[in-house]
Structure 1
Amino acid sequence: MRFSARFLVSALVLLYLIPEAAAQRANEVFGKNRIQYRSFDWVYLSGENFDVYYYDGRRAVATEALQYLESEFDRITDLIGYAPYYKARIFLYNSLADQRQSNVGLNRTEYTVNGEIEFVKPYIEVSYPGTSQEFKRELLYKVSDLMINEMMYGGNLKEIFQSALLMNLSEWFVSGASEYVAKGWTSEMDDYVREIVRSKRVNKIFRLTGREAAVVGQSFWNFIAEKYGKSSISNILNYTRITRKEEQSVLITLGVSYKQVIKEWQQYYSEMEAQVSKSYINHPDSTKLRLRHNSTTQFTTLKVSPDGKYLAYAENDRGRYIVKVRSLENGKETTILTHGSKVIAQEVDYRLPIIGWSDASTLGVIAVRNGEYTFWLYDMNSHTKLPRELDKFNNVRSISFSSNGRLAVLSADYEGKNDLYLISSRRDRIRRLTNDPYDDLDPTFIPNTNKIVFSSNRTTDSLNTKLKVPLSSLSENYSLYAFDLDTTKTRVQRITNTVSKDFSPLALNNNVFYYLSDQRGIVNLFKFDRSTGIYTQITNFSSGIRNYDLNIPRSTLAMVTNSKMQDEIHVHRGFNTNRQIFTPSTRRKELQQSRIIREKRQQQESKNMSLKDLINSRLEKSQDSVKQADSLNTNQAGEQQLQDSTKAKSVPTVNTDNYVFEDEAVKQTQPSESFLN
C-alpha cells in the first residue's frame, strides 16, 4: 500500500508540473544528447492507420512500408482482437548507424491527447536492416509489440494506473505474443525450445527474462494456435485485459486449467524433441573453442585463412566490436581491430563487423566508424591497416574476395535496395551487378570461372531494373543463383530450387556447391551437384548453424552456433565434405511445405472455378482452423518436384589480375552499372 500511495502522489506532482501547452503528440522535441555525424530532415506520408516518417529522399521505401503495414493491419488486429485508437507514427532510418545518432524521443517520455497524458510511446523507430525480408519482419514486430503493449497496459494515465496497480503479467506472456504475431513459428524458436525440453529446465522457463522470455512466450502462443486455433489468441489476450490474470483468461478461453495447458505445451514440444533426437546430434564439446567473452557477446562472422592456419572471427558486445585472428596450431590470438562503444537501451547491429581473407596474410574488415561504413585491409606481416570509406552504402551484408585478392564482391544496400557490387580491393572502383527489388545475399567467387554464386529470394532469372515488386509479394524462400561477370545478358542462372532458405554458398567448382539450408527444418550444411541435380545433407546438428566457413582443400569447418541463447564457435579439423546424411523434416517444416503445396493447388484449382464457387471457397478459408497438414509423403513428393538440375556451361576465366571496370573503359555500354557516375 505504501508503494501504491507513493506512486499516486508522484503522478499527481507530475500532472501539476507538466505544462498544458504540450497539446499534440506530433509536437516532438528533438534534443542533442547523442553523438551525431549528420542531421535528419524528416518528411512523412500519411495513411489510414500509420504515419511514416523518412529522410534523404527515401519516399519509395517509405511508400512500400506504408502500403505493407496497411495491408497487414487487419491481420494483426484480427489476430490479437484489438485495434488502436490513434495512428502510430513510424520513423524509418536508412540504417541502424543512423538510428543511433537520432534524438527522437530522448527529451520527452509523456505526450498529451485530448487532455490526457500518454506514457506509452505513440511511435516506433525502424531501421532498414539491408534486406527486404528483414525489413518486413522488423516492421511487423515493432507494430505488433506497440499494439499488444497498448492493449495490455493502455496509453493514458488512467489506464496506466489501473494496470500498474492491478495487473502483473509475466514478461514471456506479452513479449512472446509480439514475437508470434510478427514472426509465427520460426527455426530459432524451434531450436531453443528443443534445448529447453532436452535440458529439463521446463520448470524455470517462465521466470526467464529478455530474449529468452520472448522466445519461450513465442513457443507458447504457437502451441495455442496449433492446438486450439488462432482465434484463441485474441480471446486469451482480451480476457486478460478484463481479469488481469493470464491464468484465469486461459481457463475461461480454453476450458482447461493453466497448469494443464503448460503440461500440454511441454508434451507438445517434448514429442518433437524426441523425434529430432533420433536423427540429429549435438555439437561435440571437443570442437568448441574456449573463448573469454561476456554472455552478451555475439560472433558476427568467422573465416578460415586460405592456408588453413588461422581463424579470423569478429565479436560484438552491445556495440563494441573486436576482430581477432587465432592460430589453429597453438591457439594464440592477435587483436587486429577494436572500435565502437557499449550502449544501453539502444539497438545494436549484430551483423557487424564483416570479415574476409584477401590472401593468406591479408584480412579485409568492414564495420561502421563515425557513422559511416569503412573498409580496412589489415596486413598480418606489417601489422598495418589501410582504411577506405564506403560512404555510398547504407548497409553492407557480406564481402568475399577473388582468388588473388584483387577483386571483392559485396552484398550491400544502396537507396533501400539490396544488390551485388564488384569492387577493387586496392582502388576506389565499384561496379553494380544487380539492380532490382529482390534480396541478393552472400556472394562468393566460383573458382576458375568468371562467375559469382549468391543467394536470392528472386522468383525470376531476369535482371530487370524496372521491375516493381511490393514487399508483401517477396518470397521468404531463398535459392542459389550464378552471375557471369563477363555476360552481356541481363539474366542470372538458377542453381537450386527448393521450398526452403538456401544461403551462404561456397563453390568447389562450377558444379558443386556447399551451402546452409533449412530444407529439413534445422539449418545444416548441404551440398548440391548441378551436373546430376542431386543435393546431399552433410551435417545433422540438432541446433542450427548461424554462420560458417569451409576451407575445402584443408578440410576445415568453422561455425557459429547458439546454446542457451549464447554464441559458440566450433572448429572441425579433418572434416569429411563427402558425407551423406538423411534426416526427416521437423514438424514445423512439414507444416510449412504442406501449406505451400496446398496453396499452389488451390491457385491452380481457382483458375477453373466459377465466381460462386470461388466466393464460397474464400469464405471457407477465412474460418480459423486448428490444424492443417498433409502427410510426409506429400511433402517429399512436392519437394522432389521442385528440384532443379540446371546444366552448367563452360566460359572463359576472368582476368582478376587486371580487371577493367565498365566505368573505366566501356561506360557507354552499361550506363546503369555504376552509381558513381
Structure 2
Amino acid sequence: MVRKYIRLVQVIALTICFLGLSAQMNAQTYKVEFGKNRIQYKYFDWSYFASENFEVYFYDGGRDIAYKTIEYLEGEFSRITETIGQLPYAKIRVFLYNSIIDKQQSNVGVNAGDFTIGGQTDFIQSQLELAYSGDYSSFKTKAVYSVTEMLIEEMLYGGNIAEMFQSSFTNSIPLWFTGGIARYVSRGWDSESDDAVREYVASTTEDKFIKLTPEMNILLGQSIWNYIAQKNGQRTISNILNLARIIRNEENSIERTLDTPYEQFMREWRLYYSEANTLLKESYLEPDVDNIVSGKNREDYHYTSVKFSPDGKFLAYSAMSQGQFKVIVRNLGSEEEKEIFAGGLKLINQETDRNYPILSWADSTTLGVVYAEEGSNILAVKRLGTKGEQKIRIPLLSKIQSFDFKDGGRLAVMTGSINNVPDAFVYNLVRGQVQKISDDKFDERDVSFYPGSNQIVFISNRSTDSVFVSGPDKLEAVEMNQFNVYGYDIDYPDSSFRRMTNALAVAKQPLNIDGDKILYISDQQGIYNLYRYSLSDSTSVQITNFLYGIKQYDFNYDLGKVAFISNFDGKDGVFVQDLNVNASMFSPVTPRRALQVARILAERRRERLGEQYEQLDSANSQTVSPIEVKSPLQQLDSLKAGAINTEEYEFEIETKVDTRNYQFEQPATDRGVNNRSFLSIYQNANNENSIQGPSPYENRFQTDNVITTFVIDELRSVSQLLEIEMNDYLENHRFRGGILIPLSFNSGYDIYGEYEYLKNRVDISASYHRKSLVRIDQATFLNQRFNKNTFQLGFAYPFNHKLRAEFNPFITETRYIDRDIRLLIPANNPSQFIPEITSDYIGFNSALVYDNTIVTGINLHQGTRAKVRYESHFKMNSDAVSFNNLELDVRHYYRLNKAIYLAGRAYFGTYFGDAPKKYLLGGVDNWAFNSTESSNAEVNPLDFQTLFDNSDVLFHQFTNLRGYNYNTFQGRNVLTFSGEIRFPINQLLSNADLKSNFLKNLQFVGFYDIGSAWDDLSPFKDKNNLNTEEIRNEGSPFSAVINNFSNPWLQSTGVGVRTMLFGFFSRVDVSFPIRNFETLNPKVQLSFGYDF
C-alpha cells in the first residue's frame, strides 16, 4: 500500500507540473558545476552621484565623467522614456567604468545566459554597467543605448514578481527587436545601419535574421524601427513595444498595431530600402569580390586594423572574435599568409573593445600591436622571422583609440584618454614617457605622422583651432556629427592647430601620403568613402565611390594600392586593390543624408529665431562673457607654448546649400521624439540642479533570482525545491540558500546555504549543506534516518576567464539512527546494538575547472568544458573510515553548420582508500517513472536493513547511461562516454514562421552511450569483474573461477526529442540497449533537464 501511495503521489505531482503550476524541473542542472571567471586586477572604491532618476557610481579617476553622465542622462531621460513608452520601476543605477578593460573585471552576469537549472525566475533590476568609450561623442551615444536597452529589458521581462515569474515561461524576444530599438533611440538612422540594410536587401530574400551575426541583427532591427517611425510616426514605437510586453510576441505586436500582416510588413520594409537605394547602384560601385584577401570570414571575425609595411612587401591585418584576436601578415608577392601574433581571451557575455588590436609598422620588418592584457594597455613589438616579441606596458592611458609609429619606432603618437578626458599624446618609447599634445575637452581621434617628419595629422570635433580653449563642459554641448582634419608640428609648438577641412561631416583616419596629399574617409555624401585633401590649394576631392562604407583603410604610395575593410556578405572583409589618388569623382547624396539635411535646416532656422528673440529681450542687460581659457595642467608635460588665442570660428548656413560640398550635423531630433510634451518639459525643469553627492557606496542587497521547482531524486522520488539567491549591486557578495522537501514528507530533506565573496583576485566562499535520508517500510518495521552535515570553506584562483583552480577544506559528519520500534523490546535488542552511529571526517577537495563554452540556443553550446576533481575524507573518530575520490568530466560541443551540433561527454570516476564508495551506473537524471535494479553483489549499495548501517549511501553516486535502470552496474570505478548529434528545428527551418513555444525549442537528437563500472579488474582486460565469477562452497577448501564471457560494457543507441513543454525542458529518449552483444527491446525514458 505504501509503495502504491508513493507512486500515486509521483503521478499527481507530475500532473501538477505539466499543468504549469510550478516552474521547471530542478534537475535540469548539471551534477558537475563548471562556470566562467572574472579576474580583478585592481581595487575599485565606489562612490556615486544621485539625481531624480539616476544614481551614477564611479571610482578613482571617474568623478568628472560621472557628474557629466548623470547630468546628460537626466536631460535625455524624457526623450528616451517617451519614445519607448516606459518608465523605470526604480531609480536607474549606472555603474560607470573608466574603460572596457576595467568593466571586464566586474562580476555582474558572470554566468548569465547559460542553462543549468530549471524553475529559475530572474529578477530584472533597474541597473546597468557602462564603460567609458574613449571620447565624449561616442560615449553619449553609448550611454543612451545602454539606458534604452535596460528599459526595454525591464519592460519586456521585469515588473512585479508575478510578471517576472510569467516571463520565465515565455519565449525571449529576438535581438533585432530589442537591440534594434535601443540603437535607433541612441543613433537614429545612421550610415552603418544604412550600409547594412542596403547590402542585405540587395543580396538576400530572407526575412528571418536567425542565421545572421548579433551585430547584423541589431543593425537590421534599427532599420526596421526607422522604417516604422518614418511611415507611421514616432509614437507608434511605444504602442508596438507595450503590446509586445503584453502578448510576448514581436511579430503579432507589429501586426496588430499597424493593422498589417507581418509578412506584408516585411515586404514593404524591404521595398522601402531597395527603392531608396535604386539610384545609388547606378552611381556607386560594389567592392570587387576578386580583391578580397580575407576569404569568406566563416568565423564571423571583426577586422580591426589593416596596414601596409613601409616597403610595400607585406600587409598586416587583425581579426577579433569575442575578445580573442590574431594578427595576420600577408606577403603581397607570394600571396602567402602567416599568423604572427595572437592574444586576448575568449570573453563570454562581456563587452569587448572592438577597437583593439591597433597595428602600426615601426619599419619594414617590425610590427607594433596595441591591445589589452591583464587590465593594462600593452604594446607588443614583433619582428618578422623571429620568435617571441617584446611587450611594453603603456603608462597612464586607460584607453587608446589610435597609435602610429614614427619611422624607426623610437617615437609614437596616439589618441586616448587619461582620467576619461580624450587627448592626443606623444609616446617616447626609449624613455617610457607620455606627453600631451592637446589638453582640452574636445575629442581627438586617428592621429598619424607625416612621412619622415614630426608633423602630425588628426581628427577633432573642436569648434576652434586655438590650442588653449578648454572645450565644452557638458556632454550635451559635445559635437557628435562634425569632425574635421587638423594638423600640428610637435617640434614647433604653436598657439593654434591647423584646420584643413571645414565640412559639416564626420571625417576619419587622415593619412599624409607624400607631404602634400592627405587621404581621409568621410560620410560627406552619406557613405564613408575616401577623399583627398591638398595642402597646396586647400581643396578636398572625393576619390572613391564604394556602395558600402569603408571602416578602416591604409594606402601605400609606392604600390599605388589601397587596403580597406568593408562589408562583404553581411560580415567584414579585407580588400586590396589599385587606387588612383589623383582621380576625382562625384556621387549623389544618399536618401538618409538628404533627409538629415532637411531636418537640420529646419532645426537651425528655429535656433536662429530663438536667438534673435533672446537678444531682443535682453538687449539692455546682456553681458558679454569672455571665452574660457584654461590654465596649463601639471599632470603631464605639455608640448604647447605661446600666447592665448581667443579667436572663435563660427559656421554660417548659406541660403543655398550644396549637398556635395556642405554637410550638416545630425540633430537630436533625429534620435527621438520631435515634439516634447509639457510633462517632459516640467520634469526637466524640476531636475535641474538636483544632483547630490558624491556619497560612498554601501553594500545594499537585492534578490537576484528565485527557484521554485521539482526534483525527481533517485532515492527520494519527487521533491519540491525552493531556493533564493541574493547579491549586492556589483555581485561581489552572493548569498544562496534553499530547501529540498520530498512530496512524501517522510523521505528526508536537504537544507543548504552558501556565501561567496568575489571582490578580489581570490574568490572566497563558505557553505553549509545538510542532507537527510529516511527509509521507512511498515511491512518490515524498517525506520532508519541517515544524516550528513558538511561545513566547507572555498578558495578559487582564476588563471584567466576560462580556467581556475579550487581548494575547499571541509568538515563532514554522518549520523545513522535506527528507529525500529521492535528494538525497544529488551528481548529483541541484542547487546551489541547501537541505535546511533556518528562518523566525523575532515578533508578537502581540489579541482581544476575549464570552461570556454558559449550558449547558442536552449540546450545548445559551442566550446569545451572540463573539470578534474580530487577529494579526500580523513577520519576523525573510530566510527569513520577514510576514503578518497578522483573524477574527470570533459564535455565538448561542436557546431557542424548553422543548424547541426555535435556534443560529446567523457566521464571517469574512482573511489579508493580504506572504505571506497560506489558508482551506480544506469538511468538518467530527473527520470519520471524510474526503475532501480536489484544488485547481485554480495553487498547491495542500496540495501536498507535493520541493524545495518548503510551510511555509505550518502556518498554513492548515480551515473547516467540511457537505456538502463538505475544501479544496473556498480563499482568503485566508472567510465562512460555519451555522444549526441542535435538538430534544433528553429535553426534548421530558419525561414519558417514558428510561433509555438513547443516548436521553437524542438530538437531531435541521435545518441550513443557506452559505459562500465567495476571494482578491481578493469573491463579493458580479458578477465574483469563482470565476466569472472568465483564459486566457493561453504566448508570446502576448494573454489573455482569461471569466465562467463559477459561483455563488461553497457551500450545503447537511439533517438530522442527535446522541447519546452508546459514550461519544462522535457526529454524523451527511445533507447536500444546493447548488452552481452545483443540488442534488447527498446526502452522509453521521460526526463527533464538540459544537456546529457
Aligned pair partner of 1:10 in 23, 34, 38: 23
Residues 96/8 of structure 1: CA separation in 2 closer, same or farther (3 Å cut):
farther
Change (3 A) 1:171 1:588: same
Counterpart residue type for residue 73 of structure 1: F
Match of 1:394 in 2: 398
Greater shift after overlay, 483-492 or 130-139?
A: 483-492
- Could you report, residue by residue, the CA deviation over 1:111-142 in whole angstroms, capped at 9, with x for unpaired residues? xxxxxx86114311111121212211221111
- How many angstroms does 1:51 deviate by? 0.9
Judge which range, 634-643 or 490-499, deviates more.
634-643
The residue that corresponds to 2:46 in the other structure is 42
Question: 1:408: Cα distance to partner?
Answer: 1.1
2:131 to 117, 127, 130: 127
1:489 is aligned, of 478, 487, 494, to: 494
Deviations 1:6-41 (A, max 9, x none): 865237989xxxxxxxxxxxxxxxx99422221211
Q: Choose from 658, 665, 681 the match for 1:636.
A: 658
Residue 664 of structure 1 aligns with which residue? none
Give the AA of the match of 1:504: Q
Percent identical residues? 37
Q: What's the counterpart of residue 503 of structure 1? A: 508
Shift of 1:262: 2.5
Query: Equivalents in 2 of 1:290, 1:508: separation in Å?
Result: 25
Rounded Cα–Cα distance in structure 1 between residues aligned with 2:604 and 2:528:
25
Matched, 1:475 2:479: yes
Structure 1 635/259 Cα, relative in aligned 2: closer, same or farther at 3 Å? farther
1:576 aligns with 580
Deviations 1:285-326 (A, max 9, x none): 111114486523211111101110001112222111222222
SS in 1 for 2:22: helix
Which residue number corresponds to residue 520 of structure 1? 525
* Contact 2:524-2:660 at 8 Å conserved across structures: no
- Residue type at the aligned position of 1:9: S
The answer to whether the aligner puts 1:210 opposite 2:214 as a matched pair is yes
Structure 2 residue aligned with 1:463: 467
Query: 2:389 aligns to what SS in structure 1?
Result: strand
Q: CA deviation at 1:149?
A: 1.6
For the residues of structure 1 that align with 2:367 and 2:15, how far apart are their CA atoms?
61
The equivalent of 1:76 in structure 2 is 80
Give the stretch that moved more between structures: 593-602 or 410-419: 593-602
Which residue of the partner structure matches residue 308 of structure 1? 312
CA shift at 1:560, angstroms? 1.1
Mapped contact 1:100–1:346 kept (Cα < 8 A) = yes
1:662-673 aligned at under 5 Å gives the runs none
1:170 Cα offset (Å): 4.2
Q: 1:426 to 1:207 in 2, by over 3 A?
A: closer
8 Å Cα contact 1:507/1:513 also seen in 2: yes
Which residue number in structure 2 is paired with residue 430 of structure 1?
434
| Per-residue CA distance 1:481-503 (angstroms, 9 max, x = gap) | 11221334332111111121111
CA shift, 1:441, in A, is 0.7
Residue equivalent to 2:97: 93
Matched residues in 2 for 1:511 and 1:642: separation?
Answer: 27
* Unaligned stretches of 5+ residues in structure 2: 1-13, 28-34, 114-120, 619-654, 666-1092
**Contact 1:166/1:244 (CA < 8 Å) preserved in 2?**
yes
Query: Greater CA radius of gyration, 1 or 2?
Result: 2
Q: Please report how far the alpha carbon of residue 634 of structure 1 lies from its aligned counterpart in structure 2 after TM superposition.
A: 5.5
Q: 1:564/1:4 Cα in 2 relative to 1: closer, same or farther (>3 Å)?
A: farther
The answer on 1:542 being equivalent to 2:547 is yes
**Contact 2:360/2:404, CA 8 A, preserved across alignment:** yes
Q: 2:352 aligns with which of 342, 348, 351?
A: 348
- Partner of 1:558 in structure 2? 563
Provide closer, same or farther for how the CA distance between residues 4 and 569 of structure 1 changes in structure 2, counting only shifts above 3 A.
farther
| CA contact 2:406–2:452 (8 Å) conserved in 1 | no
1:167/1:199 CA distance change after superposition, 3 Å: same
Matched length = 603
| Structure 2 counterpart SS, 1:9 | coil
Which residue in the other structure is 1:181 paired with? 185
* Greater Cα shift, 263-272 or 231-240: 231-240
The answer to whether the Cα contact below 8 Å between 2:415 and 2:447 also exists between their aligned partners in 1 is: yes
Describe how 1:58-207 pairs up with structure 2 within 5 A: 58-106=62-110, 119-165=123-169, 169-205=173-209
Q: Which amino acid is the alignment partner of residue 51 of structure 2?
A: G
Q: Which residue number corresponds to residue 866 of structure 2?
A: none
Q: Which deviates the most, 468-477 or 484-493?
A: 484-493
Structure 2 residue identity aligned to 1:141: Y
Say if 2:265 is the partner of 1:261. Answer: yes
Instruction: Check whether the contact 1:197–1:273 (CA below 8 A) recurs between aligned residues.
Output: no
Q: Mean Cα displacement is larger for which, 3-12 or 322-331?
A: 3-12
2: CA distance, partners of 1:641 / 1:580:
18
Contact 1:445–1:453 (CA<8 Å) still a contact in 2? yes
Q: Deviation of residue 211 (structure 1)?
A: 2.6
Confirm or deny: 8 A CA contact 1:311 1:326 kept in the other structure: yes
* Displacement after TM superposition at 1:270 (Å): 1.0
Match of 1:139, SS? helix
Matches within 5 A, 1:652-667: none
Cα distance, 1:147–1:612 mapped onto 2, change above 3 Å? farther
The corresponding residue for 1:658 is none
Distance 1:281 1:4, change over 3 A: farther
Alpha-carbon separation, structure 1, partners of 2:664 and 2:89: 46
State the secondary structure of the residue aligned to 1:324: strand
Shift of 1:365: 1.6
Please name the residue that 2:327 is paired with: 323
Aligned CA distance change for structure 1 residues 489 and 248 (closer, same or farther; 3 Å): same
Distance 2:460 2:616 in 1: 39
- Other structure's SS at 1:438 match: coil
Q: Within 2, Cα distance between the matches of 1:239 and 1:601?
A: 38
CA apart distance, 1:530: 4.3
Q: 1:218 Cα shift?
A: 1.1
**Letter of the aligned partner of 1:525 in structure 2?**
L
Secondary structure class of the residue paired with 2:221: helix
C-alpha distance in structure 2 between counterparts of 1:592 and 1:511, whole Å: 33
Q: Secondary structure at the match of 1:540?
A: coil
Alignment of 1:221 with 2:225, yes or no, is yes
**Corresponding letter in the other structure for 1:532:** D
Alignment of 1:546-625 (within 5 A): 546-572=551-577, 574-609=578-613
1:297 corresponds to 2:306:
no
Distance 1:108 1:453, change over 3 A: closer
The code of the aligned residue for 2:230 comes to: E
Residue 445 (1) aligns with residue 449 (2): yes
Q: Structure 1 residues 264-273 or 599-608, which shifts more?
A: 599-608
CA, structure 1 residues 63+263, in 2 after alignment: closer, same or farther (shift >3 Å)? same
Choose 496-505 or 127-136, whichever is displaced more: 127-136
Q: Does 1:377 find its partner at 2:358?
A: no
| C-alpha distance 406-372 of structure 1, shift in aligned 2 (>3 A) | same
Q: Which moved more, 1:239-248 or 1:278-287?
A: 239-248
Normalised by the length of structure 1, the TM-score is 0.82
Q: Who is 1:362 aligned against?
A: 366
Residue of structure 2 aligned with 1:414, choices 410, 418, 435:
418
Q: Alpha-carbon deviation of 1:407?
A: 2.0
Task: Provide Cα deviations, 1:425-460, integer angstroms capped at 9, x if missing partner.
Answer: 333122210111111111112236542110111111
Residue 129 of structure 1 aligns to a residue whose secondary structure is coil
For structure 1, the residue ranges without an aligned partner over 5 or more in a row are 15-30, 110-116, 615-632, 644-677
Q: Distance in 2 between matches of 1:449 and 1:290?
A: 33
Comparing 473-482 with 254-263, greater Cα deviation is found at 254-263
- The AA in structure 1 aligned to 2:320 is N
